[in-house]
Structure 1
Amino acid sequence: MNDRFTTPWAELALSRFPRDPRDRLRAWDASDDYLLRHLAALTPPPAGAVVVVGDRWGALTTALAARAAGTGADGPVVQITESFLTREATRANLAANGLAPDAATLLTTRDAPPERIDVLLVRVPKSLALLEDQLHRLAPALHEDSVVIGTGMVKEIHTSTLALFERIVGPTRTSLAERKARLILATPAAPAGRGTNPWPLRYDLPGDAALVAGRPVVNHAGVFCADRLDVGTRFFLQHLPTGPGLGRVVDLGCGNGVVGTAVALADPDAEVLFTDESFQAVASAEETCRANGLDGRDGRDGRDGRDGRDGRTVFRVGDGLDGVPSGSADLVLSNPPFHSHQATTDAVARRMFKDARRVLRPGGELWIVGNRHLGYHVKLRRIFGNAELVASDPKFVVLRAVRRG
């Protein structure tokens, strides 16, 4: 959906990424609007380096780049995101609104943060752990005159959210709610109780994790179920296809990489591609592999072109399997998400299934785990023409679909 977002500095045409004319969800919401109106009303207008964290589709970054272009603001606009899709949405939205590619600097959560931040704007993420990690990383760059504003819908801001701002940034208060959105206003004060950043988290997998029982796992903040093995993956691990002869395997939406690691350990000849749209997830998968004695090659992002050590495990951040050659995989494994930010949707899973069919060779297989109620067998039959139940329990199913012809 291409939507018109009226900001204090410009009217913007914004869309999500990848753009889908059937998608009726906006690329911005009331909390983005509330933050920008509040920022524009501050006297004197805040100046200097502006850092935007958690911007979901680039609405905040694009608006602030338009502000800088219109007012001649002297500081850079920097976006920090853990999402490949957010970064690409921002690039597309900057271009759609006539703004230069360098109107904003786009960093990931794996990049070194700026050394000085004069204005910090935080779109509160769904993951409290990711908020904790990012505040720890950015707080040293704040100074006593920095402006710190968080924003989110009322349902997204909890007592624990405010406690993190209070502990890591400084004294914190909230605004009145407007259109079910609220602001978080924090004053940098270098609290004595800030503590150290607890992320990434490392632990050993439980005894019922099948092929990887007792093995180490590394989780960066924001990865799904970062502090424990989620029950769906646990069930999937107990029913994975095992070697030898698995060939070229893709761990699609790899998260912390436990599933792909299990396959790589089970079949020493398998080549495993770990891919996710989250920079935090792919970093977790790479470190999980290293912790288990698996080397790898870093193909995180075709735009960056970064390559590391040669090996039979490859790590890639991207939009699904976009850019992966057709017919290049023998096996795709996935635990598909059914949320896109706060929205419940099967659109992500459908795209993953279509991507998997394209990259599988004839006779290649897609194996997935999902909640029973999601009806993935119906979607697989539409896309593959077949779907077989491999295993089930009261909550989950493991399904297998074969690329025919």
Structure 2
Amino acid sequence: MNDRMTTPWGELEPTRFPEDPRERLRAWDASDEYLLRYLADEEVSLDGTVVVLGDRWGALVTALAAHRPVQITDSHLTREATRANLARARADAAATLLTTQDPPPERIDVLLVRVPKSLALLEDQLLRLAPAVHADTVVVGAGMVKEIHTSTLKLFERILGPTRTSLAEKKARLIFCAPDPRRPRGTNPWPHSYRLPKDVGPVSGRTVVNHAGVFCAERLDIGTRFFLRHLPAGGGARRVVDLGCGNGVVGTAVALADPGAEVLFVDESFQAVASAEATYKASGAPGHAEFRVGDALEGVPDGSVDLVLNNPPFHSHQATTDATAWRMFTGARRALAPGGELWVVGNRHLGYHVKLRRLFGNSQVIAGDPKFVVLRAVRE
């Protein structure tokens, strides 16, 4: 596989984060190349404030480093990949890295958008950025054909202005939007809150807060519902981690059931951690909690945790992969004290019991139904 990206501004060697020599997925795709080629061919002026929203692994920001772009991302892994790729290109200080929770720039002259998987996240971010966009702002979106839908185009049109698409090249497509600052946009519906059903343990009837882009932000997903019904009994664990916390409903359930527990909420999504903190505060949980954006259990001391609860994702952007789950499991084994437990919920077909048995030397089925299984592994 060619690991060099050819751009109008030279060749790059962007990588994903964390870097893995066995990784077969590239840190860019045809839509990144299409977007950069368009900017060069059309001689788009990049002299003002250039904002890159949703850059997957920092390839766009690194390619445009000479123009000191502003990156806005929801992903800790993307931000770390961007830092590494900028350093590799010797452009460490050539970009401003913001999260989706940070205040955006006051003026945007060029807005480049890598279309995210979540339409809700796109809506939230376009609404947040719209006040900074003016009539002369160049707005160009990019994505693979399978990522761009009629609903995507309607969102650009409703929030920013008239929108059209390019022809497809190498299964990639561009979105062109002509901003109309006079366009009424309405209020931002995010974050979204809802009440939990009455049959999910300590959090029954409690309010869940979801920022845009968080998994199942408009309702409780069936996997989490199943997990909530089969959590370990409280009282024994003192240091608990809700790993890949999402909106934080699992860790909040533990905090409500065992006020003496110290709960650490961890996710690589800035939107998720903000949601978890809001959910926890809305619940009125009496215990101590910490909220951290990071890569799995990186930075958590060895042997310092009694219980890890995990509903691992099996997608990274559009790619299906077990790499994230494996990092979570290995991190949990390192962070757990002897006798500490990892509890995992997942689809049956993912075969997590095999990975856990290989890593921990044991794996026990706590509960199961035709679709999901809850597994327990003990650090011996």
TM-score by length of 1: 0.92
| AA matched with 1:362 | P
Q: Would you say the 8 A contact 1:368–1:398 is kept in 2?
A: yes
- Take 1:343 and 1:278, find their aligned partners in 2: how far apart are those partners? 17
1:97 positional shift: 1.0
- Take 1:208 and 1:163, find their aligned partners in 2: how far apart are those partners? 38
TM-score by length of 2: 0.98
Q: Tell me which residue corresponds to 2:310.
A: 334
SS at match of 1:287: helix
SS at match of 1:102: coil
Q: Give the 5 Å matches for 1:128-143.
A: 128-143=119-134
- Take 1:324 and 1:346, find their aligned partners in 2: how far apart are those partners? 22
Q: Would you say the 8 A contact 1:2–1:15 is kept in 2?
A: no
Q: Would you say the 8 A contact 1:17–1:86 is kept in 2?
A: yes
| AA matched with 1:322 | E
Matched, 1:274 2:274: no
Q: Give the 5 Å matches for 1:4-153.
A: 4-43=4-43, 45-65=45-65, 67-68=66-67, 76-99=68-91, 101-153=92-144
Q: Give the 5 Å matches for 1:4-403.
A: 4-43=4-43, 45-65=45-65, 67-68=66-67, 76-99=68-91, 101-190=92-181, 192-294=183-285, 312-403=288-379
- Take 2:15 and 2:49, find their aligned partners in 1: how far apart are those partners? 26
Question: In the TM superposition, what whole-angstrom CA distance separates every residue of 1:148-200 from its partner, at most 9, and x where no partner exists?
Answer: 00000000000000000000010000000000000000011035341111000
**5+ residue gaps in structure 1?**
69-75, 296-310
| AA matched with 1:92 | A
SS at match of 2:157: helix
- Take 1:278 and 1:26, find their aligned partners in 2: how far apart are those partners? 21
SS at match of 1:145: strand
Q: Would you say the 8 A contact 1:170–1:191 is kept in 2?
A: no
Q: Would you say the 8 A contact 1:5–1:12 is kept in 2?
A: yes
SS at match of 2:63: helix
Q: Would you say the 8 A contact 1:46–1:147 is kept in 2?
A: no
Q: Would you say the 8 A contact 2:244–2:267 is kept in 1?
A: yes
Q: Tell me which residue corresponds to 1:302.
A: none
SS at match of 1:91: helix
What fraction of aligned residue pairs are identical, expressed as a percent? 75
| AA matched with 2:14 | L
Question: In the TM superposition, what whole-angstrom CA distance separates every residue of 1:359-395 from its partner, at most 9, and x where no partner exists?
Answer: 0000000001000000000000000000000000010
Question: In the TM superposition, what whole-angstrom CA distance separates every residue of 1:290-341 from its partner, at most 9, and x where no partner exists?
Answer: 101137xxxxxxxxxxxxxxx6100000111011000000000000000111
RMSD (Å) for aligned C-alpha atoms = 1.2
SS at match of 2:273: helix
1:45 positional shift: 2.9
